[in-house]
Structure 1
Amino acid sequence: MARMQPGIAAGRLGAEALSENFSDLHPPLDAHEARVAADRCYFCHDAPCMVACPTSIDIPMFIRQIATGTPEAAARTIFDQNILGGMCARVCPTETLCEEVCVREVAEGKPVIIGQLQRYATDVLMAKATHPYTRAAATGKTVAVVGAGPAGLAAAHRLAMKGHDVALFDARQKGGGLNEFGIASYKSTNDFAQAELDWLLKIGGITPHYGKKLGAGLTLESLQAEYDAVFLSIGLAGVNALAVPGHDLDGVQDAVEFIATLRQTKDLSTLPIGRRVVVIGGGMTAIDAAVQAKLLGAEDVTLAYRRTREDMGASRYEQDLAASHGVNLLFNAAPRAITGSNKVEAIELDRTDAKLKPTGEVTTLAADQVFCAIGQTLLGAPEGLEIERRKIVTDTRGRTSLAGVWAGGDCALGGEDLTVTAVAEGRDAAEDIHRALS
């Protein structure tokens, strides 16, 4: 069998193989499959799945509505709490949230497939020509939402529904944030993030302004002067640097940038990928980068994490997903140095103990591409905001240390860095903004 082309190269796989590799991770349910799956639900009183949902969706209610053949009503139940319920159904780690505490899971080891049922219901309603929500009477108030990711979109929709006029700013040339640029392609296919954005904007009263970055011609002071309230959902644009020798060699790349480029590449056969790839990190970004490197045709992919399997930010389900795609998972392995002459040729990894101290054992892996997924950080926070652990400090309502300024999503301190959590924070901040403006 012929060996793969060495180094970083495009076109490792043909169009047919790439299309299959990046197809839907979980194909959608049809109406019959959805009703059969819904019939497994016990419709619990004080349902643990509802408690586990960061957006508090009435899960037993929407599943009962599916079971009775009214998926549009089920979707309304979902969207009332989570206007991005379609995307969350695709990317939410249900295995560690609602499905983990499902009574069926506890008793039988097989939960009700809540995420797939949520996708079925939301897809049905989103296919309708009209938006399911209408705006309240105009309040005459205006709100600036900075960041068109999950938190910003949830806040903008809720504020528009309350009758406020929303100016939606984003540094990129299109909205969607993490949903558009940061999620594995096989989890969100067919340009769903943009379709969901277009659908959400049908509420009216939201005016997008793309290519507008806070700190580059757009200041918090000017927004405060022009608008009645400001909501910051600027995400974490900075990435932590890999501070080891060789970090600047050709072939070392930020995993976030890799995923964003992949998401925006129409012809994946043009996207270069290494033959031997090493991903540094233990969160969802690391998993997504590793799996997609394998799907692009990398021969050997290793994910190296400095702590134990149990310490990984990515769930066991995601770890197993990576392993099922042929990704090698290496634990207690911290990068020591990246070596090569101008370009990556190998990476040295220290074996670590329970305190992350090197044990003296060193593993060397041949590599021609290294992706770094070791965390992100807040960039360019406006003056006057209280910052802690490189995030914006807010109270339980999303209020910051500046009057008239709220924040939510990944840029705000507290909570998990999940799409569903960001949606909840955006929604709740919008409700508080509405109360303040009223």
Structure 2
Amino acid sequence: MERLGSGIQAGRLSPDEYASNFSDLHPRLDKHEALVAADRCYFCYDAPCMTACPTAIDIPLFIRQISTGNPLGSAKTIFDQNILGGMCARVCPTETLCEQACVRNTAEDRPVEIGKLQRYATDIAMEMNRQFYHRAAPSGRRVAVVGAGPAGLACAHRLSMHGHDVVIFDAREKAGGLNEYGIATYKATENFAQREVEYITAIGGIEIRTGQMLGRDFTLGELTSNFDAVFLGMGLAGVNGLGIEGEDLAGVEDAVDFIAALRQATDKAQVPIGRRVVVLGGGMTAIDAAIQAKLLGAEEVTICYRRGKENMNASGYEQDLATANGVIIRHWLAPKRIIGKDGQVAGIEVEYTAIRDGRLVGTGETGVIAADQVMKAIGQTFVGATLGALRMEGGKIAVDVEGRTSIDGVWAGGDCTGHGEDLTVSATAQGRDAAESINRAFAAAARPAVAVA
């Protein structure tokens, strides 16, 4: 192993260490393990796990199908509700959703491993390229989908099932959105995000145009003129700033950019990392950035969060995963200024915080944490300056329960709207449901008018 030096540098570890550190976090269950795990399910008639799933997968049914030796049938049950079931099995916070609701999740027991069982079934189907769905007869309708992330892909697949042609526009070089660029590398190995895109689009009738950005290469008005319907699922493009001294120093970067660069790196040894890294934030992005900084060879990685442990958006499981990887999590600290030396990050001054009269305030007591790299993970924002008259709420696109926006013929879903949690599974559900709403609108428009006597 290379001797650690000061500053941000690449190649801190040996090739074997990189390979081990970024291997699959939870390898797929083998057949025997899957049968044992499935046998623990009570197949509850009221299925609280199913209620907790944003896509409403029939969890008892797909687990029973695994237990009877029918993984392909199980995969179809999953894909019927969630065509991105393979990625969701890898990245869903099951510990706060279906597995938390499991009746076996008690102090004396542990929940059924629903996420691992879902991966077992969907991986088998995808490896066999077993397609369960076919396009209906061509409808003659064309739909534009902006964003090739979970919401856009789910919407496009369901529209294609109904016989509609879909063109997906995405600003990035690759399709996949958050799944390709925004999650920890060790959660989706072996180019899984792209393999899932290929599996989804194999149904046909879906064209993906990458490098196409709304507002730069085309307008919303052009889409509504040239297509029968539009679905907006472009996620969150903006990143919140700190607004403090030193934010422009070399060594300060957005955690989402760090994660994206690491995801696209073919050789992890070429990704530079600091010796002492501080990550600001308390959500999944902060956790993913911090763990991966440690896996790249950083000596010391500290997460600073301005509130308490119970207020962190990252689940308890993810927080524990971070500490198990050597990440230090410090609470009740807010960034005050980033300290520089010769134009480079040298440390960060933080202020202790507290809740007083129901408000978060600084106590006036400060301290300094030595650092040569600071990552910002304090949330993302939606950039909607190119959307014209589209009604917004809380900085995001306003939609009704079916995903319809204030403009006729335009739907939206995923992180660019204010509905649901910022999760892959929630975005998938919204894209799927918007597609059904679009299909109903097409059917209603095609229905002949009934004369009134």
Give the TM interval when normalised to the shorter protein.
Answer: over 0.9
Superposed counterparts of 1:264-343, under 5 Å: 264-341=264-341, 342-343=343-344
1:184-263 pair list within 5 angstroms = 184-263=184-263
Stretch of structure 1 that moved more, 295-304 or 121-130: 121-130
Structure 1 CA distance for aligned equivalents of residues 366 and 360 of structure 2: 14
Q: 1:107 to 1:309 in 2, by over 3 A?
A: closer
Name the counterpart of 2:451.
none
- Inter-partner Cα distance in structure 2 for 1:50 and 1:3: 50
Q: Which deviations, in whole Å up to 9, do the C-alpha atoms of 1:306-328 show, x marking residues without a partner?
A: 01110000000000000000000
Q: Tell me which of 383, 391, 395 is aligned to 1:390.
A: 395
What is the CA–CA distance in structure 2 between the aligned matches of 1:131 and 1:71, rounded to whole Å?
14
1:319-364: CA deviation from partner (whole Å, max 9, x where unpaired): 0000000000000100001001211001011100013211122121
TM-score by length of 2: 0.95
The answer for the alignment partner of 1:346 in structure 2 is: 347
Q: Give yes or no for contact 2:3–2:12 (8 Å, CA) kept in 1.
A: no
| 2:268–2:296 Cα contact (<8 Å) kept | yes
2:349 alignment partner AA: E
Equivalent residue number for residue 372 of structure 2: 368
What is the Cα deviation at residue 298 of structure 1? 0.2
Residue number among 386, 411, 419 corresponding to 1:414 in the alignment: 419
For these two proteins, the number of residue pairs brought into alignment is 438
Counterpart residue number, 2:438 = 433
| Superposed displacement of residue 256, structure 1 | 0.3
Q: Which residue does the alignment assign to 2:450? A: none
The match for 1:87 is 87
Supply the distance in 2 between the matched residues of 1:43 and 1:217 (Cα, whole angstroms).
51
Q: Is the contact between residue 41 and residue 63 of structure 1 (CA under 8 Å) also seen in structure 2?
A: yes
Q: Distance in 2 between the 1:2 and 1:62 partners?
A: 48
Alignment partner of 1:168 is 2:168? yes
Cα distance in structure 1, aligned partners of 2:109 and 2:175? 39
- Per-residue deviation, 1:4: 1.9
CA shift digits 1:205-237 (9 cap, x unpaired): 001111100000211000000000000001100
Q: Which runs of 4+ in 1 moved over 4 A?
A: none
Name the aligned partner's letter for residue 422 of structure 1. A
Work out whether residues 215 and 380 of structure 1, in 8 Å CA contact, stay in contact via their aligned partners in 2: no
Residue identity opposite 1:435 in structure 2: R
Aligned to 2:406: 401
Give me the whole-angstrom Cα distance separating, in 2, the residues matched to 1:108 and 1:261: 42
* Structure 2 stretches lacking a partner, 5+ long: 444-453
Q: Equivalent residue of 1:357, what SS?
A: strand
Change (3 A) 1:361 1:109: farther
Normalising by structure 1, what TM-score? 0.99
* Residue 109 of structure 1: how far off its partner (Å): 3.5
Pairwise CA distance, 1:130: 4.2
Q: For structure 1, which segment, 100-109 or 70-79, has the greater mean C-alpha deviation from structure 2 after superposition? A: 100-109
SS, match of residue 72 in structure 1: helix
Instruction: Report what 1:110 is aligned to.
Output: 110
Which whole-Å deviations, capped at 9, do the CAs of 1:172-227 have from their partners, x for residues lacking one?
11100000000000100000000000111100000111110000021100000000
- Listed as ranges, the matches of 1:64-75 within 5 Å are 64-75=64-75
Q: Which whole-Å CA distance do the structure 2 matches of 1:193 and 1:43 have between them? A: 31
8 Å contact kept, 2:24–2:188: yes
2:158 and 2:225 mapped to 1: Cα distance? Answer: 22
**1:398 touches 1:429 (CA, 8 Å); kept in 2?**
yes
Residue in 2 aligned with 1:12?
Answer: 12
The root-mean-square deviation of aligned C-alpha atoms, in Å, is 1.1
CA–CA distance in structure 1, aligned partners of residues 53 and 159 of structure 2: 22
1:73-131, CA deviations, whole angstroms, 9 ceiling, x for partnerless residues? Answer: 00000000000000000000000000001011136331000000000000111112342
Query: Hey, what's the Cα distance between the residues in 1 that align with 2:132 and 2:41?
Result: 26
Paired with 1:203 and 1:106, the residues of 2 have a C-alpha distance of 42
| 5+ residue gaps, structure 1 | none
> Is 1:378 matched up with 2:379?
no
Q: Is the 8 A contact 1:348 1:362 kept in 2?
A: yes
State the alpha-carbon separation in 1 of the partners of residues 189 and 244 from structure 2. Answer: 36
CA 408–139 in structure 1, closer or farther in 2 if over 3 Å, else same: same
One-letter identity of the residue aligned with 2:351 = D
Match of 1:151 in 2: 151
Counterpart CA distance in 1 for 2:105 and 2:124 is 27
